Structure 1
Amino acid sequence: MDRITKLTSEKPVIIFSKSSCCMCHTIKTLFNGFGVNPNVHELDEIPGGREVEQALLRIGCNPSVPAVFIGGELVGGANEVMSLHLSRSLIPMLKKAGALWV
């Protein structure tokens, strides 16, 4: 959990992902399309990724990936991010966190 807290405080947008996950790819593509440069942690490619995945499950990320943090706060997974996008709440949230200036 301490590792997640440290990682999520480093940049405005953090995505915990797996390189083979299609929903992770979709969420990364969405953010990149906005011009946001998220800090992506591929849990299947980093040392200790399995432990991070277990910690994400413990804090309520189910499924564990994608797990999106904006401004250090857990937003959720693909469903939550897409709901925010469709309700036009995602862009203001990204601006407030300093991830977008447009």
Structure 2
Amino acid sequence: MEKVKRLAAENEVLVISKSSCCLCYAVVVLLRDLGVCPMVYELDHDPEARDVEKALVRLHVCHAPPVPAVFIAGELIGSTNEVMSLHLSGELNRMLKPYKVVQEN
């Protein structure tokens, strides 16, 4: 759990991902299209991945796959469904505004 908290605190926009996950890829592409450069932490390159996945399952409080796990400003936003719902409502763009590489006019 500490590793997840540390990663979330150290990165403005964080996606905990697996390189083989198409939903993870789609979320990362969406965030980049919205103008942010998320830190993408690939679980399949981490020897402690099992512990990180267990922590994510505890944070999600559900039995859904733990990735992608999206954090903005240290807070867990959720996985694909939550991110897409926020995007469709316009809320995701508002949440990401302070972290955009290219600011809107």
Whether TM-score is above 0.5 comes out as: yes
Corresponding residue of 1:72: 74
- TM (norm. structure 1) is 0.92
* Cα distance in 2 for residues equivalent to 1:44 and 1:26: 17
Alpha-carbon displacement from aligned partner over 1:48-70 (angstroms, at most 9, x marks no partner): 11210111001116220000000
Q: Residue 47 of structure 1: CA displacement?
A: 2.5
Alpha-carbon RMSD: 1.1
Deviation at 1:35, TM superposition (A): 2.0
Counterpart position of 1:3: 3
1:81–1:90 CA contact under 8 A, matched in 2: yes
SS at match of 1:9: helix
Please state whether the residue corresponding to 1:63 is helix, strand or coil.
coil
What secondary structure is seen at the aligned counterpart in 1 of 2:10?
coil
Q: What SS does the corresponding residue of 1:59 show, helix, strand or coil?
A: helix
Structure 1 regions of 5+ residues with no counterpart?
A: none
TM-score for both structures, normalised by structure 2: 0.89
Contact 1:44–1:50 (Cα < 8 Å) also in 2: no
Larger helix percent: 2
The runs of 4+ residues in structure 1 deviating greater than 4 Å are none
